[in-house]
């Protein structure tokens, strides 16, 4: 078998290992930033590197692990508002991934940097905007959306996004991750 083909299309066990590594990375974020898990970064990174089905399934897995760690280890309160926020977070995370996927698909032929930035910005706007709208409409107000807090969340998501793209590149180099599912112009071909 051609060596390039072997690293370009990882087998099922390698693919499962790769997706598991991404979930483990999200656990680290959950412990480090309980209320600020970078779902926009994960949504944009998965939209750029996985097919739509895998990106959405991974988003559900990331959210579920976040909730399990939160309620099982970090002692999130078992009350109505917390459970409702958990559901809202899962819904917004899915919408975030979908928005990033739509942006990356529409910009597949654009320069690499444009596709990356636009996918991330679309994901972040949907993430923060969705949480803001729900907060303003019926779950407690908008005090958590002051400019310094949003800037902090944006910075955290940006750093996580960059780290996830580096992790993806390393995963492809060692044959765990498949090449991006979109024909986005890479830096070498742009």
Interval 33-45: pLDDT, tens: 656 689 999 999 9
> Do the domain assignments include residue 122?
yes
Give the span between the Cα atoms of 48 and 9, in whole angstroms.
17
Q: What is the pLDDT of residue 73?
A: 86
Q: Classify residue 75 as left (phi > 0), alpha (psi -120 to 50) or beta.
A: left
Cα torsion for 141, 147, 152, 157, to the nearest 10°?
80
Instruction: Answer yes or no: is pLDDT of 109 > 80.
Output: yes
> Do the domain assignments include residue 184?
no
Instruction: Answer yes or no: is pLDDT of 189 > 50.
Output: no
> Do the domain assignments include residue 36?
yes
Give the span between the Cα atoms of 104 and 134, in whole angstroms.
26
> Do the domain assignments include residue 92?
yes
Interval 22-35: pLDDT, tens: 777 777 766 666 56
> Do the domain assignments include residue 54?
yes
Domain that holds residue 121: 3-173
User: In the predicted model, what is the mean pLDDT of the chain?
Assistant: 83
pLDDT band at 185 (very low <50, low <70, confident <90, very high): very low
Q: What is the mean pLDDT of residues 124-149?
A: 90
Looking at beta carbons, which pairs linking 158-165 to residues 24 or more positions away fall under 8 Å?
158/41, 158/120, 159/41, 160/29, 160/38, 160/41, 160/42, 161/38, 161/40, 161/41, 161/44, 161/45, 161/120, 164/22, 164/25, 164/41, 164/42, 164/45, 165/45, 165/48, 165/49, 165/116
> Do the domain assignments include residue 15?
yes
Give the span between the Cα atoms of 89 and 50, in whole angstroms.
21
Q: Domain total for the chain?
A: 1
> Do the domain assignments include residue 182?
no
> Do the domain assignments include residue 57?
yes
């Amino acid at each position: 078998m051609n060596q390039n083909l072997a690293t370009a299309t990882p087998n099922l066990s390698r693919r499962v290992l790769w997706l598991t590594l991404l979930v483990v990375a999200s656990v680290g974020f959950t412990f480090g930033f309980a209320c600020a898990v970078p779902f926009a970064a994960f949504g944009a990174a998965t939209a750029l590197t996985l097919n739509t089905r895998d990106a959405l399934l991974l988003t559900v897995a990331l959210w579920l692990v976040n909730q399990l760690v939160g309620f099982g280890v970090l002692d999130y309160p078992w009350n109505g508002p917390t459970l409702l926020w958990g559901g809202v977070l899962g819904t917004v995370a899915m919408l975030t991934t979908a928005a990033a996927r739509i942006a990356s698909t529409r910009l597949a032929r654009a320069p690499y940097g444009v596709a990356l930035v636009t996918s991330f910005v679309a994901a972040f706007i949907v993430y923060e905007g969705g949480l803001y709208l729900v907060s303003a409409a019926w779950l407690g107000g908008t005090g958590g959306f002051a400019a310094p807090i949003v800037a902090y969340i944006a910075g955290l998501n940006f750093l996580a996004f960059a780290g996830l793209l580096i992790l993806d590149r390393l995963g492809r180099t060692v044959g765990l991750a498949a090449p991006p599912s979109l024909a986005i112009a890479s830096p070498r071909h742009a």
